[in-house]
Structures are given as structure tokens and as C-alpha cells.
Chains A and B, each alone.
Chain A
Amino acid sequence: MLGPRDRVIGQIYIEGDLRVGGVVEGEVEVTGDVEIDDMAKVKASLAGRDVTIRGHVNGAVVARKRLVVAKSGSLFGDVRVARLAIQDGATFSGKVSMGAGAATAPLVKAVEAPTPVPEPEPKAATEVEKPAAPIVAVPLVAAPKITPPAIIKTAAPAPVAELRVAGKDGKGKPVAAPIKGKPNKKKRR
């Protein structure tokens, strides 16, 4: 519950219900119901199960179940809802997308999004790091012929990683040298 003198600017995520009486700016996501009271001024995207608007709202609204814009309410923004009720006297402008699928889609995506992201990241990081290590070592040791072959074997099943290394670093030649030893030497001469 945010009273008439309360103000929030930023991102709110609430497990449960939210009632706004004051000023909210930003992004609001609520697992339960959202109520915007008469005197409230909201400049934010709202997402909730049941959304009831009696005050001023400027922003997109997603209601998984139902959106109600009451007599005193005004809403400017696009709306994705399962059910919609607008009472006579309410003000509303925006695009309406209706149907069970339209309302649930964005919320599900938001929840799932964080989980798949970490998975591919570590893989890519390790692939890049392995070949990257010898490159750093190359100029220091100045005789990379002994160490690179072993590392290249590990990197071999992932040709993408090899390409990245070559493209990333101009000094990618030493890594490739053991494989195509002759052409490299020719270039150097």
C-alpha cells in the first residue's frame, strides 16, 4: 500500500497485492492485484492479475485476468488483458489486445528470461579463455611450439572458438603456427 503522500520512482516487483494512492513512476510488476486510487498519479507500466484504475495512469498495462477502468479513472497506454471493463465516464486511449494468450505471454517471458541467460555464458567464456591463455603466454615465452599443440586439440571440437581467437587478436598466428607451420614462416620472412 502506497499512501497518497508516498512516491516511488523506479522498478517495483511485489509478490502480493499493491494499492497505490500516491505517485509512481517507472515499472510495476505485481503477482496479485493492483489498485490505483482516485488521487494516484502513475506514470509506469503496470502488470498484475486484476488491475483496477480509479486514478491517472500513463503507461502500458498488462492484466492477466481483468482490467477495470472506473468512472474516475483515466488510462493512456496500450493494454493487454484477458478481460476488460470500462465504466461510463472513464477516459481511455490506447491499443487493446485481448484474449487469454495476449495477457499471459509477457509475464511468463519475464520470469523465464533470467534462467537461460547464465547457461550459455559460462560455456562461451571457457571456450574463449582456453585458447586465449596461450596467446598471452606466447610473447612472454617466445617459444610457443611446445605448449600450443595440446591446447589446440582441446579447442579443435569448437571451431567457432578458434575463429574468434584469430579474429580477436592479431597475434593469433602463433596459435595457428603448429598446424600450418610452413605458411606462417613464409609470411614472416
Chain B
Amino acid sequence: METQEAIAESTPMETDGQSDSKRGGQNRLVLGPNDSLEGKLTYGGSMTVDGGHAEGEFRVGGNIEIGNGTVVKALLEASNVTIKGEVEGKLTARDKLTLGKQAKLNGDVQVRRLQIEDGASLNGYVRMGEFEQQAPGS
């Protein structure tokens, strides 16, 4: 009983309440430190790059998360994008883009909502507002 309680308490603490959306999105692609992805990816689930190498064009139905210290050179498109590392390239967030304290983003951005934490670095054009549904090819 005690251990179960401990687990129940610890999970929301770690994931900060985002666990629901991640698990609800069923599929999740995780690139760890030894993983590498280069090219064009269209994916229905969510994607996490944490320490891995990723370069290209990623269009994702769910969310994209770029972990701390990770460098990604790519065009990104997702519902929610959370960046804690470095990203170079155009970015589209159908819902929200979050830049963490140590995030660096170089590139133009189109978002519906935007949150930038103090300390983050951003260079590029920001376009905000109601999102026009774009075909993946555009």
C-alpha cells in the first residue's frame, strides 16, 4: 500500500501533469543519447528527442519535446512543442510552443500560443494567432 502511494505521488511530480497527453497519444517515439534520425518523418504520435541526434523534417500529430542539451536541426510541426535544448529551423505549433529556461531557438515560428521562460533565447519571426490548417506538403 505504501509503495503504491509513493508511485502515484511521484509520477505527476516528474512529468508535470503532461503524462496524460503523452499516454493518450498512444504512440511515442523517443530518441535517446545513442539514437539518430535523419530525414523526413511524418508520424501520428508524439516525439521526444532527448540527447539523440535529429535532423530533417518532422511533422507529428502529437507533441514534440526537445530535451535539455539536445541540438536539433529540423523543421518541426506538432500540436505542442516543448523545447529545452537547441533548435535550428522553422517551427509550427498548432497549439502551444514552450521555450524552457535554457532553450535556444533559431528560426521562424508559427504558433497559437506561446510561452517563453526568462533565460530562453529566440531569434526569428514569430507569427501568432488562429491556426490555418496546412497540408503536410506545404
Which one, A68, A87, A98, contacts B121 given CB within 8 A?
A: A98
Report the minimum CB–CB distance from B118 to chain A (whole Å): 4
Q: B123 contacts the other chain (Cβ, under 8 Å)? A: yes
Judge if A151 is at the interface, Cβ distance under 8 Å.
no
Contacts of B127 in A (CB 8 A): 93
The yes or no answer to B37 lying at the interface (CB within 8 A) is: no
B69-117 residues with Cβ-Cβ distance < 8 A to A are 96, 98, 113-117
Which residue on chain A has the smallest CB distance to residue B124?
A: A96
A91 to B127 CA separation, bound complex (whole angstroms): 10
- Tally of A-B Cβ pairs under 8 angstroms: 48
A93–B128 CB distance below 8 A: yes
B69 to chain A, nearest CB (A): 19
Which A85-101 residues have a C-beta within 8 angstroms of B?
85-99
Residues of B within 8 Å of A68, CB to CB, are 118
Q: How far is the CA of A92 from the CA of B109 in the complex (A)?
A: 11
The distance from the CB of B16 to the nearest CB of chain A, in whole angstroms, is 14
Q: Does B126 contact A (CB under 8 A)?
A: yes
Contact B113 A89, beta carbon cutoff 8 Å? yes
Cβ proximity bits A11-23 to B, threshold 8 Å, 1 near / 0 not:
0000000000000
Considering the chains assembled together, what is the distance between the CA atoms of A68 and B115 in angstroms?
A: 11
- Are A90 and B122 touching (Cβ within 8 A)? no
Contact A95 B116 (CB under 8 A): no
Whether B113 pairs with A96 at a CB distance below 8 angstroms is: no
Q: How far is A92 from B112 in the complex, measured between Cα atoms in Å?
A: 10
Expressed in whole angstroms, the Cα–Cα distance for A87 and B99 within the complex equals: 10
Specify the chain B residue showing the minimal Cβ separation from A94. B126
Q: Quick one: closest B residue to A90, CB to CB? A: B114
B-side interface residues, number (CB < 8 Å)? 19
Q: Tell yes or no: A130 within 8 A of B by CB.
A: no
Q: Is the CB of A92 within 8 A of B126?
A: yes
Residues of chain B within 8 A (CB-CB) of A98 are 121-123
Residues of A within 8 A of B96 (CB): 88
A85, closest chain B residue (CB)? B118
Report which of B98, B113, B122 forms a contact with A84, defined as CB distance below 8 A: B122
Determine if B129 is an interface residue (Cβ-Cβ < 8 Å).
yes
CB distance from B67 to the nearest CB of A (A): 21
Closest Cβ of chain B to A68, distance in Å, is 8
Q: Which B residues touch A99, using CB under 8 A? A: 121, 123
Q: Which 7 A-B pairs have the closest CB atoms?
A: A86-B116, A85-B118, A88-B115, A96-B122, A95-B125, A93-B128, A98-B121
17 more A-B contacts (CB under 8 A) besides A92-B128, A93-B128? A66-B118, A84-B118, A84-B122, A86-B116, A88-B98, A88-B114, A88-B115, A92-B114, A93-B126, A93-B129, A95-B124, A95-B126, A96-B123, A96-B124, A97-B123, A98-B121, A98-B123
Q: Which residues of B contact A (CB under 8 A)?
A: 96, 98, 113-129
A sample of 6 cross-chain residue pairs with beta-carbon separation below 8 angstroms, ordered by A number, consists of A86-B116, A88-B113, A91-B128, A92-B126, A93-B127, A98-B122
